[in-house]
Structures are given as C-alpha cells and as structure tokens.
Structure 1
C-alpha cells in the first residue's frame, strides 16, 4: 500500500457553510462553528413477497445534515439560522473538505452542495459548557457533488495558515 492510500481524511477538515437561498446574489456563505455534523443518506426499501421470491421496491432518497455547534456572541449566522427555522426560509448548505492535499490546482476543494430547510432548532445551555445549538437540515431533492471555492475570509475562519516571522510589507500578498 502506498502512503497516499493510507492517509486518512480528518473530520475536522469538513466544514459547513450556510446562506439563505434568497441572498445568493448578494452574500457569501457563512461558516458555522460546528463541533460535529453528520451528512446522512437513506431510502426506504420495501420488500414485496411474490410467489417467485422477494422483490425490492426502492423509495426516494432522503438526506439530512445533523448539526452541533457552539454559539459565538453576536453571531449573525446563528441568528440567521434560527430565523430560517422560524420563518421557513430555504437555505443553501455546503460541506467543504478543507484539506490541502485535496485542493485542486485552481484552488477549489471537494464539496457537497444542497438546498433545503432547517426543520428544528435547539439552544441547550449547560452551566459548565459553552452555549451550543443543535439543528437538522433536511435536503430537498439530491445533494450535488463538486468543488467549491472559499473566499480568503472563509479560509481564514476555517484555519489560519503558516506565516513567516518577518513583517508583511504593504502590497505583499498575505497567506
């Protein structure tokens, strides 16, 4: 086995970004500070017994994303997500795998894109931990697989990059 075959994908490198569908021409997607999320796919399989054996009838695909995140003070994304549940607003969601080894030559990362709705919102508040949110995003139709570009601000929020010890001079690109 080669080294490339044995490298593992780390869950911390999969980030979620959200945006209201109605704001797609004016806003960049915003990063959620999730501690955990699960992207799940399922479909009902109905077994029909016939005289010749069992036949399986395949139902439609159902997808959802379960989200656990910490709340930042004055977090505009948290407020927007809560309001989208209350108002029933359609959202866009991206799961982007921010792994430099998977980044394409044109600077894009592997991603899953979906449209849908948050169908629940919980604000648990434990006395000994950070305030968190818990929500479920229900995907409408099928998620799409492709590549996504992150803005410099999104990349910076996802993970800072190595910087040199010398000061950055004006006009010099910053990593």
Structure 2
C-alpha cells in the first residue's frame, strides 16, 4: 500500500482538544432520545425545547424547533427567546453554539463548530464556537463554520458558506458578501 497523501497518518489521531463534557452513558441516552423522539415528525415541536433542557441545553421561551433537526450535544447549546430552527437543520456543536433571540435557522442549514488541523499529519481537531447574534437569519442550506460570529441582523443567504465573521446587517450570498 502506498503512503498517505501529504504525509497524513490518521492512525495516529488522538482527538486532542475535544471534550464531550459528558460520560458515555449520557451521550448514549441523548442519541437514543434524539433518534427515537426528537427528530420524528410526530414528536410535538413544543416538547423539543424541554427535551433539550433535560439534557443541559439553555433554551429560551417561544422556541420553535421543527422535525429532523439534529443537535450533537445539547449541553453545549444556548438558545435565546423567539428562535425558529427549521426542518432538517443540523447543529454540530463539538464546541458551544450560541443562538441569540429572534434568530431564524432555516431548513437544512448547518452550524458546524468542528474542523481539523489540515497541516497536522494526524488530522487533529481544530474546533471553535459558533455565535448567531440577535435577529440574524441563516437561510436554507446555508453553512456556518467553526469560529464564526454572524452579526446582529445579518443574513447568511441560501446555500452560502460563512467561513469568517459576518458584520451586523451584512448579507452573505452564495456569490459573496453584499
């Protein structure tokens, strides 16, 4: 077998720098609740915030979470008041995700706090929090990457990729910032 590209040696991956903050039993209980209840169309949307709170999330009032929403670790999630999270959104929160009040995360949007050190031969983690400030909108199938803050009232348009901070009231489209 030939050597890995760019000297990559994934066998040596240690996972350094990533703390799940809960034991295996709690992680397993969350994955069971997520897959057996939380994502299902028949599970009432008004119960989803309560289930997240039961696993350590901080969730405000009048939060609407549609079905098929996935949350990696509820205990690393803070959501303000009057937030909407659309069908099929994915919150990959290896690090904290903070969603302030009056924010809309639309259908199939992804908030991803995880990445890898591309120059590391063992591809170690390079994670950082994501923050959505008050009144912003992450539109359908948009992607917000690790370490990004989406400023107050800003818009990450449908299909856009936010890989750096977005100023308040800025609009990022799939073609760039306006």
Query: Which band: TM-score by shorter chain?
Result: under 0.3
Structure with the bigger RCO (C-alpha within 8 Å, sep 6+) is 1
TM-score, length of structure 2 as denominator length: 0.22
Q: Which has the larger radius of gyration?
A: 1
Higher strand share: 1
TM-score, length of structure 1 as denominator length: 0.23
